[in-house]
Structure 1
């Protein structure tokens, strides 16, 4: 049997494991609309997915009075919480995670979600016990700062060079680059493929199926 290339596999959540990109975009736009602010274009709203919520709103709505950002965040949360129970995992995610767990990989999540938001999602999908550790944007520096990956590897006693970060945004892949880890892109989430490939991932998957097969053969 070939020696494993990685010991720790870290996943982004939204747009990578959870099919939530469209819902997040609509909630950002609805929050702006509620407050009579310029409504960001779909591509601009999608581009901030993966950042901490405060940072995301600042980038999605860069020209508003800074005093309004807490209200934008509040309206975003209102809209998101009203529909997060409707969101589902991408097809094949649970099977992929269970197979990886059976092969004794360490599994983790590094996400722009808040701790409360991630715990809701993990409990709602039944995946809470699947991950050895998780890191959220309200607990440390936002992506693409390397802190999430650095903290996860320290917590689990793993080597950053034998760690891979899997995500649908350049924020995920740049975090991996900044930390000295490897990165894998998934093309079915928030960021355009050319932007993902500019971050030099070791692999780029067009579907969960492709990702699962690559991990089974190469990870």
Structure 2
């Protein structure tokens, strides 16, 4: 991704005790694995998509929602396409992935500052835990929350609520969601928590601001400035 100039916008002088991180496009650049898996699924229906960047819109939202919105799949075909997607993803795509430069240092500083770090992702929880462990990020996180393989916790708001309950968060005003897509912002708003939008992932500034992000940062390092 093209690097943007450092910029952090923050309203007020709020202190956060809990930092909920999205996974794809926030902690890791998962574009290769996800788009390869989407191509694999679409190929089953004779659909060819040579422009990989057009498939970046699959990164972040629930897969069934994306297959329905972008290719007009029926509910039944969406579920079938997700199964094809996972055929590729669970063995290969999951590892076609990398942690963003500087992210581990950000997590380390937040942890040392006493913040409670949690993953809240629309990816199935079993895959999210596998990725966090594979990249040795598990020491930084107190909990990894995601969707269920059978479609349960099917929205970002439901994942966030699940994470809040699992972590027994006493005060939602002390929680910050950090993510790169409008689904992170809208899910956070529904759960009654703030959201910091990041521009180094796969969303746009317009998308994040229109959704109502509490703040915007163009870089990984900007997360620290906003949180601390």
SS for the counterpart of 1:72 is helix
Give the structure 2 partner of residue 205 of structure 1: 217
Give the structure 2 partner of residue 161 of structure 1: 173
- The question of 1:86 aligning with 2:96 is answered yes
Structure with the higher strand share, 1 or 2: 2
1:122 to 118, 125, 132: 132
Give the structure 1 partner of residue 6 of structure 2: none
Q: Confirm or deny: 8 A CA contact 2:42 2:48 kept in the other structure.
A: yes
SS for the counterpart of 1:71 is helix
Give the structure 1 partner of residue 189 of structure 2: 177
Q: Confirm or deny: 8 A CA contact 2:36 2:93 kept in the other structure.
A: no
1:69 to 70, 73, 78: 78
SS for the counterpart of 1:142 is coil
The CA deviation at 1:111 is 0.5
The CA deviation at 1:90 is 0.1
Give the structure 2 partner of residue 29 of structure 1: 39
TM-score, with structure 1 as normaliser: 0.85
Q: Greater CA deviation, 24-33 or 88-97?
A: 24-33
Give the structure 1 partner of residue 161 of structure 2: 150
Q: Confirm or deny: 8 A CA contact 2:16 2:227 kept in the other structure.
A: no
1:77-99 CA distance string (max 9 Å, x none): 23333233231100011111111
- The question of 1:20 aligning with 2:30 is answered yes
Q: Greater CA deviation, 82-91 or 29-38?
A: 29-38
In structure 2, distance between residues paired with 1:52 and 1:162? 27
The number of aligned residues is 212
Relative to 1, partners in 2 of residues 1:66 and 1:176: Cα closer, same or farther, differing over 3 Å?
closer
Q: Greater CA deviation, 160-169 or 192-201?
A: 192-201
2:206 to 179, 189, 194: 194
Structure 1 residue runs without a partner (length 5+): none
Q: Confirm or deny: 8 A CA contact 1:183 1:201 kept in the other structure.
A: yes
TM-score, with structure 2 as normaliser: 0.82
Give the structure 1 partner of residue 117 of structure 2: 107
Structure 1 stretches of 4+ moved >6 Å:
none
Q: Which structure ranks higher in relative contact order (CA pairs < 8 Å, sequence separation ≥ 6)?
A: 2
